[in-house]
Amino acid sequence: MNRIFGTWWPTSGLEHGEVPDMFERYDERFDPYTGMGTTEIWLPIKE
């Protein structure tokens, strides 16, 4: 999150949309017992 909101977002040229600030998506590749796997971070963007 620090890299997304602290480094990437300010230099992306994009404008943040409405709430929520972000959404985390966990699919079948993520193992909740080990905490390992793929996580998607979705960000709202103003058009």
Q: Has residue 47 been placed in a domain? A: no
Q: Has residue 15 been placed in a domain? A: yes
* Domain housing 16: 2-42
21-46 residues labelled b (16+ CB within 10 A) or e (exposed): eeeeeeeeeeeeeeeeeeeeeebeee
What's the confidence (pLDDT) of residue 24? 93
Q: Has residue 20 been placed in a domain? A: yes
What's the confidence (pLDDT) of residue 18? 82
Q: Has residue 11 been placed in a domain? A: yes
pLDDT tens-digit map of 2-18: 898 899 999 999 999 88
Q: Distance (Å, rounded) from C-alpha 46 to C-alpha 19?
A: 11
Nearest to 22 by CA among 45, 5, 44, 7: 44
Give the total number of structural domains in the chain.
1
What's the confidence (pLDDT) of residue 47? 82
Q: How far, in Å, are 42, 45 from residue 24 at the CA level? A: 6, 15
Q: Has residue 24 been placed in a domain? A: yes
pLDDT tens-digit map of 18-39: 878 889 999 999 999 999 999 9
